[in-house]
Structure 1
Amino acid sequence: FLVEESGKNEHKVACFIKAPATALENLKCKIVNYTSSLVVDDSEELVSNVISIECSDYEKEIPFPINAGIPFTSYFRGNHREIMVKVTDVNFQSNYLTPISLEGYQGNHKETFAEVEIYQLGVFSVLSCLKKETFTVPEVGLSQNLSMDSRISFYYHPETFSSPAPMQLKVQPIEPSLVSTLKARHDMYHSVVSTSALVYVQHLSAQPFNSSVTITLPCPPNPEKKRQGDESEHVRAISATVKRVAMAYHPRTVSASVRISGENLSDTLKLLGHRNKEEGWKVFDDVIIKNAQNGLVSFELSEHLESFVIVRLSFLLENTYLLLFAQALEEAVSSTMANVILYRKRENPYKIVVLLSASKDLTWELQNLHEEGYFGPPEPTHQFSLREGEQIHFRFTGNIFASENGEDFGNVYRLIFHSQRRPRLELQIREVDEFANHSSPHYKGTAVFYKITREMITKDWEQPLPYGEYQQQSPLCKLALTLPKHEKLISRPQSTKRTSSDSSEALWDSLLYWLAEELAEDNTSLLALCLPVRRSILQLIRLKCPDNLTHQFYELLCCWKKALPRSADKQQLLSHYLQKSGRSDLSEELRFKWQNRMLT
């Protein structure tokens, strides 16, 4: 099934369906990505388009099962995650399907498709989910090592349960960098050294425990303790040698014990968990947690916990702060730091692109935009936290508004965040009033962004965009925009004709880009061009355009020009700096192009 991409005269594959020809004639398939917030839950990551498959003739019966293959792209998976297909009906009831295959061919090209056998129509999405491990504990007991991480084990003693008890487990790894980030934001978590993975357990039979279960899992040791332990071994070896020598020559010497700095460094291990979500997190002080070898810890649990985590502390922390840490950790695991980027086309400042990027991918995204011909200003927004499926709504205020199709201006726009997708919108902008901003050489406006959490999103398959309903909500961030003014063609007598300064702005933009290309061609250093700009600006330019010297020079020249007063003779000043930099040839050519008003 091919669908046309919005705003483009191109078709893309929505899905493949294998079914009897009579059934295929009655199937209708379309991409409904605007509903993606409704198909993801916590710990799920969308990796495909959201596909709606319907029957165009409700009187016809579909001979189920039929096979459907949905294209997807997963950038990272790992041992703890797996690809599943989620099918959601009109009442938002969902089922998960395990793919028969994850590869397929489109012509001669091998591509990734999640192929599933379906027994109902609805809305389909391919998700990266936490891998689920299912096993049954018999009456004779069980020792189970988890397939996603064999270091995690559950040992159920004989007769732990009175009858066979099915269990389902998921494991959410915790990156050390995540713990470091929480510690950096909140001083009260300073004593947290490390944590185990977050373990989610479903005890499907809900039988009471007749005896405790022994759980073993990794919780990284204190690196400071390990370093001091290594040092203490070295000190012990030296002290033993000194002692043997002293005893040989001075038998009556009183031996003094060597105090090892690492011996007093003891960690505290705490179990945090909750029996159910309604009850919330709790610290289980009565559970004794033992250190085992190779960073493993073990403990006995005599009741069911829906989720739990072990926290290693360098010194005791009040339970109140531990509970706050557990909540912050759970939120951070399901969130991603992100930025909004709003760049404009260099050749056409009326064409912009707006996209949501995970902060860790920001440099890569900016480089891709530069290659497509998009540049700032404005610079990307500050970082903010988003969960999978949360939305950013934005609109334009001031004297600039936007349109997706070049006709309907002044709408509210939406970007839906998915950590493994690249949500973006290409828009056209123009001024609201061509006679406004009369004291400025540019039209001015602002893009205002609002965060819409999943709890604020109504369960409606149509997902209409609100308009003017943000008065009670504080903006998440804002980005200032400008547009060059048009040269107005007014019929006047020859003696009274005026020349708009905007033509000179276009000429300057062209000349600066030509000059940047010439300087980059000779591999000139930014510092060699003796422009009076701060070193911090040079550093920012290098970060902004790390691999493109032409763009670096262009940004540098634009920054220099922007800082000048309007009355300054820019051509004379720039020619002077070029001569000072040893480029008299470019100085003369610049003077010639400026005098003859030559657009390059």
Structure 2
Amino acid sequence: MSISFSRGVKLILVQGPHSAQFDVNIYPKVSGTEQYSILLYDQNNKSLTNNKTKNNKYETKYYENETKRQIGQTTQLCMCFKRPDVCFIRASVGAVKVVRCEVADALSCLMVSGSEELVSRVIRIKAQDGATFHFPVTVALPFHARYRGNYRDIAVKIVDEERRVSYVTPVTTEGLYGGLRGSFAEVKVYSLGLFAVVSCLKRENYTVPRRGLSLKLPMDPRICLNYLPGSFTAPVMVQTMIQPVDAVLLASVKSRNDVYRSVVSTSPLLYLTHPTSQPLRRPLTVTLPCPPNPEKMRDTRGQTEQEHQPASQVLDRPVTHRLRILGASVKSKELSNELLVVLGSKDKQWNVLDDVTVRNQQKGLVSFDLTENSDRLLVVRLLSLLPPCHLTSLAEELEESICCHAVTVVLQRRGDEPHTVLVAALPSRDLSWELNKLQAQGGPGLVETSAEISMCEADQLLLRFSGNITSTGRLNEDTHERITFHSQRKNHLLVHLTEVDPFGNYSSPHYKGTAIFYKVTKGQLEWRGDKAVLKHSKLLGDPICKLSLTLPKVQECSQRSPHSDSLSDSLLLWLSGELSEEELALLVLSLRLRRSTTQLVKHRAGDSLSSQAFHVLAMWRRGLPAVPHRPKASQLAHCLAKSGRPDLARDLLLRQAAATRQSSMEYERPKKTN
């Protein structure tokens, strides 16, 4: 099924002090991609393709609106000037004639990895085959980052035609484009391909000379690295990243497993990349924040207040109480009984560093000396000792939980468009806010929500239907509507519904069905041509949630088109070509045909299997009672399902429903003419 999200596009040619407009040809969507063909004309409809400007450059600007309009198989564009949402390209005149730009959001699931988060659309920029032009090309991509801080940075991720990945730091992330000021990631590139703006962990690169280095990381000045003189035999380049672990995340992990109840707090995850060819020759001192037990901090704070009371107030109290206060003040100065453990990772394998001693410092800081290279470090504060296997499991679960989000699937049915359903994957923490926004944008309508599910960045939700409702245009079981979840993007899908059997659910005023959602992780997807496809259909697994659907029944007219619900010969011919010999034998039993009828079919049809199947179906149809509105297709679909072919039953009902609608339209057209 191809769902149209129309793009209102306006392209403006900046040519010195003058400007001209682009005409845009929009081609039918192919695999979720919308293609834009650029033709240049000035205000007098004169071609500018061969014209050159003073600085020999053109600038193209793309705009989008949210209006949705679909005509046939093509998408109609509506002009909008509210906000830019695709890209701005500045290139030489030669590039204007050969460069094409496409929206490739269907590949967003393959554009992020690790802790990256997508904050823009995915754009494909490519040149016509064999075309050459002068680089560099300046590309400015608008983006919207909801969560930014000291630990994260903005980068433009590029995947070229050979699928080589590169990251480019934007020249600027704020700018004025097309008279609109906003967040734009502008980069100068020397190759074309897929472009997207991602939010990633901030990397700090520094050089450690032979004389050593003492460094406070700019992302978090509490984190210090102290290299002694002679730590390396030659100057080396080191890269660090910090992944914070907040108390809410730790509490969530502890709530899922009781063995972690003695864990008080953890430090941030420190990613530390040293060259493998240069081992540490002298200990590296690492200082990390690891908050102490908050309950002990409250006790100590209360004891400190008692210590600072006037002596007269203390002496007025009983002797036993004075001794208890003095004893508490002495105990607060002693070292805490809490344990500190360091975990290190090599080759993606966590281990407890038993030979490393951790020292408590002031203000919740801890320090330790590292004698071997580790690519990840984590300090855990404990109330009691935990086995090493539980500590390594804790580190792995923390890493997984950092990338996971609690998501709620929302299904909104709009009152003015009962056959249109909006499906959204919303972060559960913002659920009430997002639901209010949906109600404001879509008007009053029924909203159904699922239970919380856990999803990572770029995971997908595949949507299937069961019952008497399906999506329009869906002809087989291999096509799915899908939503790719991005924590900082809008994850909406507009689905158009229709009934499978117009005569089904006869005892209900509504058609009934179910929307079934399957979760697909980004690790289960792979590149196949220009598409992101499931590596194997068996990886789909069990559904993660189901939401009920209903459609109102249309009041039937008093006069119906003749034979609108009869099974046509063309439909029976199609079905006869899909049945095997064993399936035909089972179908004959389900249809309850007499033995004499089957013998007559063999005599008339000969040895051709498809001919035999057609004569069986035709004779069954001829023997049905002459009831005007008896649902013959439903009876045949029921028999097909009993024979082990529910897929053919579903396809039969879909084709019969389409034929019924076509027949009704042809029947009503002469009446309107008269």
What secondary structure, in the 3-state scheme, does the structure 1 residue paired with 2:270 have? Answer: strand
- Find the aligned partners of 1:201 and 1:441 in 2 and give their Cα distance: 64
RMSD: 2.8
Contact 2:518 / 2:540 at 8 angstroms: preserved in 1?
A: no
> Which amino acid counterpart does residue 48 of structure 1 have in structure 2?
S
Match of 1:392 in 2: 461
2:96 corresponds to which of 5, 13, 24: 24
> Which amino acid counterpart does residue 437 of structure 2 have in structure 1?
N
Note the C-alpha offset of 1:180: 1.1
In the alignment, does 2:153 pair up with 1:82? yes
2:351 corresponds to which of 258, 282, 292: 282
Match of 2:497 in 1: 429
1:98/1:443 CA distance change after superposition, 3 Å: same
Contact 2:172 / 2:184 at 8 angstroms: preserved in 1?
A: yes
- Find the aligned partners of 1:362 and 1:461 in 2 and give their Cα distance: 37
- Find the aligned partners of 2:395 and 2:177 in 1 and give their Cα distance: 46
- Find the aligned partners of 2:535 and 2:371 in 1 and give their Cα distance: 54
- Find the aligned partners of 2:261 and 2:501 in 1 and give their Cα distance: 55
1:295 corresponds to which of 364, 367, 390: 364
What secondary structure, in the 3-state scheme, does the structure 1 residue paired with 2:526 have? Answer: coil
Note the C-alpha offset of 1:467: 13
Note the C-alpha offset of 1:461: 4.6
Match of 2:142 in 1: 71
Note the C-alpha offset of 1:80: 0.8
Note the C-alpha offset of 1:197: 0.7
- Find the aligned partners of 1:257 and 1:79 in 2 and give their Cα distance: 43
Match of 1:486 in 2: 554
What per-residue deviation string (whole Å, max 9, x for no partner) do you get for residues 313-356 of structure 1? 12222222111111100000111111111111122221110111
Note the C-alpha offset of 1:62: 2.3
1:436/1:162 CA distance change after superposition, 3 Å: same
In the alignment, does 2:186 pair up with 1:115? yes
> Which amino acid counterpart does residue 225 of structure 1 have in structure 2?
K
Note the C-alpha offset of 1:29: 0.8
Note the C-alpha offset of 1:143: 0.2
Paired residues for 1:302-341 under 5 Å? 302-341=371-410
What secondary structure, in the 3-state scheme, does the structure 2 residue paired with 1:357 have? Answer: strand
Match of 1:475 in 2: 543
> Which amino acid counterpart does residue 277 of structure 2 have in structure 1?
A
1:334/1:443 CA distance change after superposition, 3 Å: same
> Which amino acid counterpart does residue 128 of structure 2 have in structure 1?
S
> Which amino acid counterpart does residue 203 of structure 1 have in structure 2?
H
1:81/1:68 CA distance change after superposition, 3 Å: same
In the alignment, does 2:132 pair up with 1:61? yes
- Find the aligned partners of 2:247 and 2:192 in 1 and give their Cα distance: 42
Contact 1:412 / 1:467 at 8 angstroms: preserved in 2?
A: no
What secondary structure, in the 3-state scheme, does the structure 1 residue paired with 2:435 have? Answer: helix
1:20/1:437 CA distance change after superposition, 3 Å: same
Paired residues for 1:183-198 under 5 Å? 183-198=254-269
Note the C-alpha offset of 1:210: 1.0
What secondary structure, in the 3-state scheme, does the structure 2 residue paired with 1:372 have? Answer: helix
2:514 corresponds to which of 440, 443, 446: 446
1:433/1:304 CA distance change after superposition, 3 Å: same
Note the C-alpha offset of 1:487: 1.4
- Find the aligned partners of 2:323 and 2:482 in 1 and give their Cα distance: 76
What secondary structure, in the 3-state scheme, does the structure 2 residue paired with 1:455 have? Answer: helix
Contact 2:267 / 2:380 at 8 angstroms: preserved in 1?
A: yes
1:239/1:290 CA distance change after superposition, 3 Å: farther
Match of 1:226 in 2: 297
1:157 corresponds to which of 218, 221, 228: 228
Note the C-alpha offset of 1:218: 0.9
In the alignment, does 2:484 pair up with 1:416? yes
Match of 1:366 in 2: 435
What secondary structure, in the 3-state scheme, does the structure 2 residue paired with 1:160 have? Answer: coil
Paired residues for 1:440-589 under 5 Å? 440-463=508-531, 469=537, 473-491=541-559
- Find the aligned partners of 1:89 and 1:243 in 2 and give their Cα distance: 76
TM-score normalised to structure 1 length: 0.75
> Which amino acid counterpart does residue 44 of structure 1 have in structure 2?
E
Note the C-alpha offset of 1:91: 3.0
What per-residue deviation string (whole Å, max 9, x for no partner) do you get for residues 339-385 of structure 1? 11111112222111011111112111111111123566452111111
What per-residue deviation string (whole Å, max 9, x for no partner) do you get for residues 560-586 of structure 1? xxxxxxxxxxxxxxxxxxxxxxxxxxx
Identity of aligned residues (%): 39
1:33 corresponds to which of 105, 118, 123: 105
Match of 1:201 in 2: 272
Note the C-alpha offset of 1:50: 0.6
Task: Name structure 2 gaps, 5 residues minimum.
Answer: 1-59, 71-75, 561-674
Contact 1:412 / 1:465 at 8 angstroms: preserved in 2?
A: no
Number of residues paired by the alignment?
483
Match of 1:216 in 2: 287
In the alignment, does 2:120 pair up with 1:48? yes
1:375/1:384 CA distance change after superposition, 3 Å: farther
> Which amino acid counterpart does residue 335 of structure 1 have in structure 2?
C
Paired residues for 1:172-187 under 5 Å? 172-187=243-258
What per-residue deviation string (whole Å, max 9, x for no partner) do you get for residues 535-559 of structure 1? xxxxxxxxxxxxxxxxxxxxxxxxx
> Which amino acid counterpart does residue 424 of structure 1 have in structure 2?
H
- Find the aligned partners of 1:111 and 1:147 in 2 and give their Cα distance: 26
What secondary structure, in the 3-state scheme, does the structure 1 residue paired with 2:489 have? Answer: coil
1:472/1:107 CA distance change after superposition, 3 Å: closer
- Find the aligned partners of 1:268 and 1:426 in 2 and give their Cα distance: 53
Note the C-alpha offset of 1:92: 2.2
What secondary structure, in the 3-state scheme, does the structure 1 residue paired with 2:173 have? Answer: coil
